[in-house]
Chain A
Amino acid sequence: MNDDMCGTVREMIPDAVAGRLPTADFEIVDRHVADCGECRAELELAQLVFASRPRVPEGLLERVLASAGRSRPQPSHAWWGLSAAAVAALALGIGLSSNQAAVAPVDVPGFAYEVEEGDIWVSDDGLLAGAPSFDDLSDDALLQLLDELSVTTTGGSA
């Protein structure tokens, strides 16, 4: 049997067994497996896999619909453009308000976010660090900024 044809048919087998293949392509598969035992065996196996797919439990749809109503989309990272001082205030606020309930992390794929890789990183202390940088600020300027934010420092380097 022609290896190229086998390769083509094997690519189409999953869609053939699930009824997702256009009629013309299905006929190609049908004709080929009539003469090719290897591809026919693979087709039969794929049919078994498709036929044995788990049935969705009754009540799951209603359960998910009910919970979906409680999970509204949250706004995207609109705060990203905040000024350096505002970001600092936010970061320090998070650090100082340990009594507040933590926001549960949302485990979603990285490629889903609008933020490009490199725009965001996680600092060693677990706080989100943003694009604004304090590297250029002198110690005095930094202390003045902290003073303006009414933050009491307890020692250690800023």
Chain B
Amino acid sequence: MREDERWAGDPSDQELVHAGRSGDDAALGALVRRHHAAAYRVAVSLVKDDDLAQDVVQDAFMKAFKALGGFRGDSSFRTWLLTITANEARGSLRRRARRHETALEDAGTVASEDVGPARAAIAAQEAGRARVMLERLPEKQRLSVSLRIEEGLSFKEIGEVIGSSEGAARVNYFHGIRRLRELME
């Protein structure tokens, strides 16, 4: 059996984490396959730059795996990884802002307003327009909407990722939806 086929069934994240701690590379690979897309969506939602988002995802997985020995499992691996990803993304924005000697807000705004030809074509469609409007929401509202709809996280899990309570995550989500509806009208 090939090493990457050993976890080809449907093992739980907990089983994969346990095996990964013991040095099972195939288990770590299965965790990457399972969660890299969600991590990318969180990263790109925050940094609004494809190349930077890919760097963030790579670094987030590396940090998560290095720290896997201390992962207690109070939250799910997915929530833990997405929290690391969000922290890494914010760190990348801060480093980029320092490099360009611009404010953090400017770094995000420039990218979100950067409407190139390809992006404009997508924006011509309603879904693309919804994405553009979503990117205009404040960070916590934007992440709450994305994590709830796209990743299916509970409000408790969203709270862990955005650093707030379950109630605050719920409020951020519904405020975000309401604001998004206003922007789309």
Q: For residues 62 through 81 of chain B, which have their beta carbon under 8 Å from a beta carbon of chain A?
A: 62-72, 74-75, 80
Assembled-state Cα–Cα distance A107/B174 (Å): 30
> Which of A41, A54, A57, A64 meets B32, CB within 8 Å?
A64
Segment at the interface with B among A72-80, A136-144, A148-156: A72-80
Q: Say yes or no: A61 contacts B184, CB within 8 Å.
A: no
Interface assignment of B100: CB less than 8 Å from any CB of chain A: no
CB <8 Å contact, B29 and A68? yes
Chain A residues with Cβ below 8 Å from B174 are 10
Q: Interface size (B, Cβ < 8 Å)?
A: 57
Contact between A64 and B36 (Cβ–Cβ < 8 Å)? yes
A49-B149, A52-B130, A71-B62 given; 6 more Cβ-contact pairs under 8 Å: A18-B149, A51-B127, A60-B54, A73-B21, A108-B67, A112-B67
- Confirm or deny: A114 has a beta carbon within 8 angstroms of a beta carbon on chain B: yes
Total residues of chain A contacting the partner, CB 8 A: 44
The reply to whether B127 and A64 form a contact with Cβ atoms under 8 Å apart is no
Contact (Cβ within 8 A) B40 A57: yes
Residues of A within 8 A of B145 (CB): 49
Chain B residue nearest in CB terms to A115: B70
Docked pose: A157 CA to B112 CA in angstroms: 55
Contacts of B167 in A (CB 8 A): none
- Cβ-neighbour of A71 out of B41, B44, B66, B184 (below 8 A): B66
The answer, yes or no, to whether A109 is at the interface (CB within 8 Å) is: yes
Does A101 sit at the interface, judged by CB under 8 A?
A: no
In whole angstroms, how far apart are the Cα atoms of A112 and B91 in the complex?
19
Establish whether residues B67 and A74, one from each chain, have CB atoms under 8 Å apart when the complex forms: yes
Report whether A107 and B87 are in contact in the complex, using a CB–CB cutoff of 8 Å. yes
Most chain A beta-carbon contacts within 10 A, residue among B33, B36, B74 = B36
Q: Inside 8 A of B149's CB, which chain A residues have their CB?
A: 14, 17-18, 46, 49-50
Report if A14-B23 is in contact (Cβ < 8 Å); known contacts: A45-B181, A112-B67: no
A53 within 8 A of B: yes
Q: Which residues of chain A are near B129, meaning CB under 8 Å?
A: 48
Nearest CB to that of B88 among chain A residues? A107
| A113 engages B72 (CB within 8 Å) | yes
Residue of A nearest to B50 (CB): A57
Provide the bound-state CA to CA distance between A18 and B149, in Å. 7
Q: How far is the CA of A33 from the CA of B72 in the complex (A)?
A: 42
Task: Tell me the nearest residue of chain A to B4, going by C-beta.
Answer: A65
Measured between beta carbons, the chain B residues less than 8 angstroms from A72 are 23, 65-66
Q: How far is the CA of A57 from the CA of B37 in the complex (A)?
A: 9
Residues of A within 8 A of B88 (CB): 107
